Amino acid sequence: MLSRVRPRFVDKVSLNMINQLLDDILLDGVVNNGERESIIEENGIRSDRARRLIDIVIKKGDRASRKLIASIQSRDPELYSELGLSCGQPAPRGELAYSAEPQVEMKWSSSLSLATDSFWLEKQNDREVYCGTKESIANRVALLITNIKFTNEKKNRYGAEKDEENMKSLLTNLGYEVVKHTNLTGKAIDEAFIEFSKHPKLTKTDSVVVVIMSHGKLGAVLGVDTQSGTAFDDEFPINNIYKHLGPENCPALLDKPKIIIIQACRGAKKGSVILRDSANPAVLCDNASMSAAEENIDDDGFRRVHKEKDFISLLSSTPDTESYRHKMYGSFLIQYVVEVFNTYAHKDDIEELFRKVNIKSIVQMPNKDRCSLTKTFYFYPGLAGI
């Protein structure tokens, strides 16, 4: 079908529309960053850029063509109609109509699918699943930290407002009271964790979720006063999360899942970018040394617990690499998390949800890290009447 409308597409599509379509098909995995940038940089004339765009998509086959058609329909219904791409338009002999195989495309939910009482009851009888009573689910609490505006305005994270909005909405819908902070220094992030570790709901909740979104480097999230290229960057060591929420400093969360999501670079390896969430290209390690000395405990009334237990983390990229963000839609990781959780959180456990985020990711590879869960955790969205 795209081959048939190619001349009209080249004639009618605007330059702004071409760039929007390129953004859409990048998110859909039809093109990669290199292809997108080559289309833009090597074709300064509007008509040349349009020809290059549609030719690349046509060569990638029916599925890629359907994605572009869907984007045209969403972005510019008038152009969609002028090109004769409407579903009611008969396809030429031998060509596949756009609407002929709608079941082939994965349908991501734009709203949270809800769990059933029967599903929850079934899991309550499973000793391999973290217990979540309706009362504990109703007392959930989450920490959301988003750095958007920096002292050095060149580091401002455009599009991060959308991330903050999307994550707050998702967490609220999952039943969490959201403790939200915006534009914090590294020291202030640390203080926010200390304050959160004393939240009165932690003794009643079944779990916590922590989301941090900022610039970053290996082992650290950067605060808003960071200055690239110095040895004194404003930073928050990621290890502090596990220290502040671990059993030693936060006994209220003992044996409860602590889910960590971090959108930030872990290095600055070069590659095609939309926006880079990295700061200092130097890769620094912020490991905190831990004493291995054993204590002699004679009293059987003492309970020995692991210093780091019942955590699971999802980082936006693999070590030493960059994370990407779209100026309009926000970070790729957060987009993936919202879509996957909306669609599957009512029936999948947290590890399976993170696996699906990895599968969906095209531009970057999120990395599950420091998983010390001893059981399976489910969100049961909607169970507490949210």
- According to DSSP, the β-strands at 208-213 and 140-146 are parallel
Active-site choice (215, 244, 326, 346): 215
Contact (Cβ atoms closer than 8 angstroms) between residue 216 and residue 265: yes
Verify whether residue 306 is a known catalytic residue.
Answer: no
Q: Which two tokens stand for residue 110?
A: 């734009």
Verify whether residue 265 is a known catalytic residue.
Answer: yes
Active-site choice (199, 250, 265, 346): 265
Q: Which residues are catalytic?
A: 215, 265
